[in-house]
Structure 1
Amino acid sequence: MATVLFTWELGLGLGHLVQIRTACLPLIERGHRVVVAACHLANAQQVFAGYPVEIVRAPRVAMPRKRLLQVATYAHLLHNIGFGDGPTLLAATTSWRQLILSVCPDAIVFDHSPTALLASTGLGMKRAIIGNGFCQPPQDRPLPVLRPWRQWELATAPQDEARLLGHMNDALHRFNVPPLSSMAEIYRGFDQSILTTIELLDPFAPRTGKPDYLGVFTIGDAPPPQWPAGPGKRVFGYLKPFPALPVLLEALAKSHLPALFFCPTVDEAFRARYHTAQMQLLHQPVDILRACSECDFVIGSGTHATALHALEAGKPALHIPLVLEPVLVSYAVEQAGAGLMAAPDNTNELVDQFNRLITDPSLEAGAKRFLQPAECHQERLARLSRQVLSLVE
């Protein structure tokens, strides 16, 4: 029996845990020990309820005293999650290294865990990285620019990266590990690189070589959607709260379209105000594969999983991204003609984009270009299983 540690350091929602659960199932079936270090314990306990998995708390990400407001490069992103402050990075790296050594894994699978990646340097066990393209930047020197359609002032980028590399090497020196020559080295040397996306949503495509895109995975045991009765095309939404959400829901109510919205973080007063027989606001997830298959339009926050499920169901989507990664996803969908994006605080734009979503046939045609047959999911699961099992068998 081998021990495999899965790490999840950054991100929100259930998407990271869903793909970890999917990846660990072949290991569980073969009798291997699985440990999951998760940054959100409550969500992990929900997703892994009933599974023989050990769940531990991932070391917390301590934000640096000075955060960058303009995140232009991947190095800037790492700066803002602790790499920009030497003592902060050393503390986090030490915590991760202690956790890894206490678990004593034969292999580690990293899901959006840059500090854990750094901490594992030089330990010698097999390693894999899993996640969408945003979580697996190319090994460029310097690390890549984010949102390349914008004009950035990058004159200090090499110095910024050199400073962060110094913090990383100071931490490794404490563990008697040789220094890295670049920040990108923590994203090199994996036994498996598991890309859970498609090329369209990979912000760093095209990549060198022949990347094996596995698409996205989902919880298969969520209940099926129960659609409101009534005529009209169906709308499925998975949304986090944002300033103009009431305006969006009012526009949807005026459209008289039957709608299901999974809004897990809105309070009961908000839910009671907008929940009607025609537009239902849910606090528990439904089977997103079925929801996207049975609906006509999707509205989301630009999260990778929701966007990709909508694409592969051939359904146009309106995305309202709140942070950087969903902005990249939403932009890619819009540029492909398969959906639209809107700012979360621009009420006029949001209403206009919603009305266009439900009336513009070109968006439906654009989304249908990405429609995937249901059987492709099983083929992807088989490929994932082979990649994960190769770490220990």
Structure 2
Amino acid sequence: MDTLIKRPEHSTEYKRIVCVWEMGGNLGHLANLKFFIDEALVRGHRVSLVARQLQHVSTLFRDQDIDLWQAPFLTLPFDEGLGPLVSYPEMILTQGFANSDQLHALVKAWDNIFSRLNPDLVVYDHAPSALIASVGQKWKKWAVGSGFLIPRTDLPFFGVFPDVPKNTQNTQRLKTIDKQVLSIINSVLETRSLPQWQSLSYWFQQCDSQLLTTWPEADHLGARDYGRYLGVDVSMRGAQPHWESPLKGQDEKQRARKPKVFVYVNRFEGLQRLLEALSQSADVIVYCKNVSPNMMKNLRGAVAFSEQPLDMTLLLKSADYFITNGNHGTSAQALRVGLPQMIIPLQREQMLMAMRVKQAGKGVIIRPNLEDYSGAIRKLYLLQPASNSKPRVEPLESPSARMAIAQEYQLLGM
């Protein structure tokens, strides 16, 4: 059972800390907020968590003394003909709110929550409408998240994605999107008797701190000279990886010559073909949360499947190669220690992460539906010698995210 973290009984001058998560759909958002919540509780503050998805809260916050609220959000229809998104504002238009009526409803819902909670500090993880509801409010504001979720404000277009080609068509598209989103926001601000925005940059510039849960080299949008990089937390533990080839008839020397490849992906069309090709040359451990029983049966004896998350620190020290979809936490840690990666992006954020790894000379990017993966595997092996000549990676040495968060609380006198 997790250790109960609660307000000390002697605490009489606690502050009210509200952590909010509005958009996105994986455990990473809650994991980001956990460090801020843990530190607030240790300091004796009262904490409320307003979360988009409640089903995973007990995974990270079991027995913790926090107040739990459901976050308001909209589920918008997906336009398959839109093509790759070009900017943060376009992502919000397609996934957050598409008109002033929708934004007005979201802001009113946030008003009710904030009025009840009366915060001294709000920590925002991918919470665009919550930030708009906070305009003009006196509480302290921290924006937290990976580089993808805290848009750049120092570029010609707010939150433009770095791989968007610079041409007349995209320039016009970006201008149109910015104008549309700015009009929606200003329409809502007008109903609240608040000054009109001249630029979308105020969306995040209103925050007292922008706290990036990544490293500069793993920032999806490129390293920036403002905000604070907290790093990626590496303290979460899992099962110990066992690098033992399941193939019978192999002696120790044969296994020692095989590169060790860790595969951490969501299921995609070509996954079985990839694993079959890998098993011909590598010692393979696979963690895939939605792998089918048939695939496991078909590959039994060729690769090792793990039914639970594995200890990332041990994997970074023992594996020779990673294969992922480009999920930020895993790819950033592998990049930090120089571990070569094959990345198979399934969505926009993952593609931007894959590009950062490739730009560093540590990755190959491939499509998820190749008929033959042998060529891609050969390209991966070219990035680094096999395990018998690869220097062992020392444990990650990075500034502690927990210490940095503690310093941020201290700066606010909390």
Aligned length: 385
Match of 2:289 among 261, 264, 289: 264
Q: Which moved more, 1:298-307 or 1:35-44?
A: 35-44
> What's the secondary structure of 1:155's corresponding residue?
helix
The CA deviation string for residues 269-317 of structure 1, in whole angstroms up to 9 with x for no partner, is 444443x355233342222222222211111111111111112233111
Pairwise mapping of residues 284-303 of structure 1 onto structure 2 (< 5 A)?
A: 284-303=308-327
> What's the secondary structure of 2:279's corresponding residue?
helix
What residue is the counterpart of 1:357 in the other structure?
Answer: 380
What code does the residue aligned with 2:345 have? P
Quote the offset at 1:32 in angstroms: 1.5
The 1:281/1:173 distance shift into structure 2, 3 A limit, reads: farther
What residue is the counterpart of 1:220 in the other structure?
Answer: 236
Give me the whole-angstrom Cα distance separating, in 2, the residues matched to 1:94 and 1:321. 36
Quote the offset at 1:265 in angstroms: 2.4
What code does the residue aligned with 1:71 have? L
Give me the whole-angstrom Cα distance separating, in 2, the residues matched to 1:159 and 1:375. 44
Give me the whole-angstrom Cα distance separating, in 1, the residues matched to 2:287 and 2:410. 34
> What's the secondary structure of 2:172's corresponding residue?
coil
Match of 1:58 among 53, 71, 82: 71
RMSD value over aligned CA atoms? 2.8
What residue is the counterpart of 1:171 in the other structure?
Answer: 188
The 1:382/1:343 distance shift into structure 2, 3 A limit, reads: same
What code does the residue aligned with 1:132 have? S
> What's the secondary structure of 1:129's corresponding residue?
strand
Pairwise mapping of residues 147-186 of structure 1 onto structure 2 (< 5 A)?
A: 147-148=162-163, 150-152=165-167, 153=169, 154-186=171-203
Scaled by the length of structure 2, what TM-score is found?
A: 0.83
What residue is the counterpart of 2:328 in the other structure?
Answer: 304
The 1:23/1:148 distance shift into structure 2, 3 A limit, reads: same
Quote the offset at 1:327 in angstroms: 0.5
Quote the offset at 1:345 in angstroms: 2.4
Match of 2:107 among 93, 103, 108: 93
Quote the offset at 1:64 in angstroms: 5.7
Match of 1:233 among 253, 256, 259: 259
Unaligned runs of 5+ in 1: none
Scaled by the length of structure 1, what TM-score is found?
A: 0.88
1:30 aligns to 2:54 (yes or no): no
1:343 aligns to 2:367 (yes or no): yes
Unaligned runs of 5+ in 2: 1-13, 247-254
Contact map agreement 2:135 2:206 (CA 8 A) in 1: no
What residue is the counterpart of 2:275 in the other structure?
Answer: 249
Quote the offset at 1:151 in angstroms: 4.8
Quote the offset at 1:162 in angstroms: 1.5
Give me the whole-angstrom Cα distance separating, in 2, the residues matched to 1:191 and 1:290. 37
What code does the residue aligned with 2:402 have? L
What residue is the counterpart of 1:376 in the other structure?
Answer: 398
The 1:316/1:98 distance shift into structure 2, 3 A limit, reads: same
The 1:374/1:199 distance shift into structure 2, 3 A limit, reads: closer
What code does the residue aligned with 2:206 have? G
Structure 1 or 2: more helix by fraction: 1
Give me the whole-angstrom Cα distance separating, in 1, the residues matched to 2:385 and 2:216. 22
Contact map agreement 1:339 1:363 (CA 8 A) in 2: no
Quote the offset at 1:221 in angstroms: 4.1
For the pair shown, the structure with the greater C-alpha radius of gyration is 2
Give me the whole-angstrom Cα distance separating, in 2, the residues matched to 1:363 and 1:119. 53
Contact map agreement 1:191 1:391 (CA 8 A) in 2: no
Contact map agreement 1:289 1:309 (CA 8 A) in 2: no
> What's the secondary structure of 2:19's corresponding residue?
strand
The 1:57/1:262 distance shift into structure 2, 3 A limit, reads: farther
What code does the residue aligned with 1:249 have? L
Give me the whole-angstrom Cα distance separating, in 2, the residues matched to 1:113 and 1:57. 13
> What's the secondary structure of 2:85's corresponding residue?
coil
1:325 aligns to 2:353 (yes or no): no
Q: Identity of counterpart residues, as a percentage? A: 26
